[in-house]
Structure 1
Amino acid sequence: MTPEELSAAIRAALAQAVAAGELSVDVPDEVRVERPKQREHGDWTTNLALQLAKGAGRPPREVATVLAERLRATDGIAAVDVAGPGFLNLTLDAASAGELARSIVEAGPAFGRNDSAAGSTVNVEFVSANPTGPLHIGHTRWAALGDSMRRLLAASGADVTSEYYINDAGSQMDTFAASVLARAKGEPTPEGGYPGGYVDDLAATVRQQRPDLLELPEDEALAVARELAYAAQLADIRGTLEDFGVHFDVWFSEAALHEQGAVAQAVQRLREQGHVDDADGAVWLRTSDFGDDKDRVLIRADGNPTYFAADAAYYLSKKDRGFDEKIYLLGADHHGYIARLKAIAACAGDDPQHNIEIRIGQLVNLGGAKLSKRAGNIIELRDLVSWIGSDAVRYSMARYPADSPLSLDGEELRKQSNDNPVFYVQYAHARTANVARLAAEDGVRREDGFDPALLGDPTEAALLAILGDFPRVVAQAAELREPHRVARYLEDLAARFHKWYDTCRVRPLRDEEITDTHRTRLWLNDATRQVLANGLDLLGVSAPERM
Structure 2
Amino acid sequence: MNLLDTARQAAADVVKAAYDKAVAAGTLPQAELPPVAVEMPKDAANGDWASTFAMQCAKPLRMAPRKIAEAIVENLSLDGTCFEKIEIAGPGFLNFTLNPAWYQDAVRAVETCGADYGKTKAEKPEKIMVEFVSANPTGPMHMGNARGGVLGDCLAEVLAWAGNDVTREFYINDAGNQVDKFAHSVEGRYIQELKGEDAIEFDPSWYQGADIRELAHDLVLMHGDKLLDMTPEERFDAIVGYGLPHNIEKMQKDLERYKIHYDVWFRESTLHDSGAVAETVQMLTDAGVTYEQDGALWLKSTAFGADKDDVLRRANGFYTYFAADIAYHRNKFVTRGFDRVINIWGADHHGHVARLQRALDALGLDGSNRLEIVLMQLVRMMQGGEVVRMSKRTGKSLTLSDLLDEIPVDAARFFFNSRAAETQMEFDLDLAVKQDSENPLYYVQYAHARICSVLRNAAENGVSVPKAADVDLTVLTHADEKALIKAIALLPEEIREAALSRDPSKLNKYGVMLAAQFHRFYNACRIMDAEPAVRDARLCLCQATVQTIKNVLGIIGVDAPEKM
TM-score of the superposed pair, with normalisation by structure 2: 0.87
Aligned length: 542
How far apart, in 1, do the equivalents of 2:456 and 2:57 lie?
Answer: 50
CA contact (8 A) 1:50 1:60 kept: yes
1:164 aligned onto 2:176 = no
Shift of 1:301: 3.1
Q: Does 1:457 align with 2:470?
A: no
Moved more, 313-322 or 337-346: 337-346
CA distance, structure 2, for counterparts of residue 340 and residue 371 of structure 1: 36
Corresponding residue number in structure 1 for 2:557: 540
Which amino acid in structure 1 is aligned with residue 473 of structure 2?
P
In the alignment, is residue 40 of structure 1 matched against residue 45 of structure 2?
A: yes
Q: CA deviation at 1:117?
A: 6.1
- After superposing the two structures, state which structure 1 stretch, 274-283 or 123-132, moved more: 274-283
Q: Does 1:491 align with 2:497?
A: no
1:392 & 1:12 partners in 2: Cα distance? 44
Of 102, 125, 146, the residue aligned with 1:119 is: 125
Partner of 2:559, secondary structure, is: coil
1:351 pairs with one of 344, 366, 372: 366
66-75 vs 113-122, which moves further: 66-75
SS in 1 for 2:178: helix
Q: Select the residue among 500, 504, 516 that pairs with 2:533.
A: 516
User: Structure 1 residues 208, 523: CA separation in 2 closer, same or farther (over 3 Å shift)?
Assistant: farther
- What is the CA deviation profile of residues 243-296 of structure 1, one whole-angstrom value per residue up to 9, with x for unaligned ones? 101122121211221121111111111223332233443322222232222322
Measure the CA separation in 1 of the matches of 2:331 and 2:494: 33
Q: Does 1:388 align with 2:407?
A: yes
**3-state SS of 2:536 partner:** helix
Aligned ranges 1:66-465 → 2 under 5 Å: 68=73, 69-83=75-89, 87-116=93-122, 118-185=124-191, 186-187=193-194, 188=197, 190-191=202-203, 192-206=205-219, 213=227, 215-320=229-334, 321-368=336-383, 369=388, 371-372=390-391, 377-447=396-466, 449-465=470-486
1:99-147, Cα deviation, whole Å (9 max, x unpaired): 3112112211221111246422222111111001111212111101110
Letter in 2 for 1:429: H
* Aligned-partner residue type, residue 352 of structure 2: Y
Distance 1:311 1:32, change over 3 A: farther
Whether the 8 Å contact between 2:140 and 2:251 is mirrored in structure 1 is: yes
Given residue 496 of structure 2, which amino acid in structure 1 is its aligned partner? A
Q: 1:315 to 1:32 in 2, by over 3 A?
A: farther
Contact persistence 1:459–1:499 (CA under 8 A):
yes
**What is the distance in 1 between the residues matched to 2:394 and 2:274?**
33
Distance 1:245 1:117, change over 3 A: farther
Distance of aligned partners of 1:345 and 1:546 in 2 relative to their CA distance in 1, 3 Å threshold: same
Change (3 A) 1:374 1:129: farther
Work out whether residues 126 and 329 of structure 1, in 8 Å CA contact, stay in contact via their aligned partners in 2. Answer: yes
Query: Partners in 2 of 1:326 and 1:375 — Cα distance?
Result: 38
**Cα RMSD (Å) of the superposition?**
3.1
What amino acid is the match of 1:9?
A
Comparing 482-491 and 52-61, the one that deviates more? 52-61
Which residue matches 2:27? none
1:376 Cα shift? 6.8
Query: Residue 43 and residue 377 in structure 1: after superposition, are their counterparts in 2 closer, same or farther (change >3 A)?
Result: same
CA separation of 1:38 and 1:314: change in aligned 2, threshold 3 A: same
Between the aligned partners of 2:37 and 2:265, the Cα distance in structure 1 is 39
Code of the residue aligned with 1:324 in structure 2: it is: D
Pair 1:527-2:544 in alignment: yes
Give the C-alpha shift of residue 155 in structure 1: 0.5
Structure 2: gaps of 5 or more residues: 25-29
Which stretch of the first structure deviates more once superposed, 140-149 or 198-207? 198-207
Where structure 1 has 5 or more consecutive residues not aligned to the other structure, the ranges are: none
Q: Which amino acid is 1:489 matched to?
A: Y
Contact 2:22 2:72 in 1 (8 A): no
Aligned-pair distance for 1:195?
3.3
Alignment of 1:467-478 (within 5 A): 467-478=488-499
Contact persistence 1:7–1:31 (CA under 8 A): no
Change (3 A) 1:86 1:107: farther
Q: Distance in 1 between matches of 2:171 and 2:31?
A: 50
Q: Note closer, same or farther for the CA distance 1:127–1:58 as it changes in structure 2 (3 Å cut).
A: farther
Q: Which moved more, 1:78-87 or 1:170-179?
A: 78-87
Report the Cα distance in structure 2 between the residues aligned to 1:479 and 1:134, rounded to whole angstroms: 33
Shift of 1:2: 2.6
Q: Structure 1, residues 273-331: CA drift from partner, whole Å, max 9, x if none?
A: 33223344332222223222232221233332222211211221112121222212111
